[in-house]
Amino acid sequence: MIRHIVFFSAKRRDDIETIRQGLLALGTIPHSTVFEVSLNTQVDPLSDEIDIVVYAEFPDVEALAAYKAHPTYAATTARVRPLRELRFSADVVAG
């Protein structure tokens, strides 16, 4: 299983909800077994830069690649990229 975790920060605080709503479209792509878009609670006193977290699970590398190749992924990237400041992504093999 692959855990796909992406952290986003908004350029402007007013755009956080717009980014979150845009990222929810990724959940319509059929290759993940778990998909969540959450606001960061920002309780860590050392870092408050992350506004939104995308968490997804995929059965294998091929499913993750199919997810990233889906047209909705490209459309979502085009919609969200101008509004975000930072984006950090990690793909972790579980187990």
pLDDT one-digit tens code per residue, 8-44: 999 999 999 999 999 999 999 999 999 999 999 877 7
Average confidence (pLDDT) over 50-74:
97
Determine if the pTM surpasses 0.85.
yes
Provide the number of structural domains found in the chain. 1
Do residues 52 and 5 lie in contact, with contact meaning Cβ atoms separated by under 8 Å? Answer: no
- How far lies 74's CA from each of 29, 85, 94, 95, in Å? 11, 18, 26, 30
| Residue 5 confidence (pLDDT) above 90 | yes
**What CATH number corresponds to the domain at position 26?**
3.30.70.100
In terms of residue numbers, what domain contains 69?
2-93
Alpha helices in the chain (DSSP H): 16-24, 61-69, 71-80
DSSP 60: S
Q: In terms of residues, how long is the chain?
A: 95
DSSP state of 14: G
Q: Give dist(CA 61, CA 72) in Å, integer.
A: 18
Average pLDDT over residues 79-90: 97
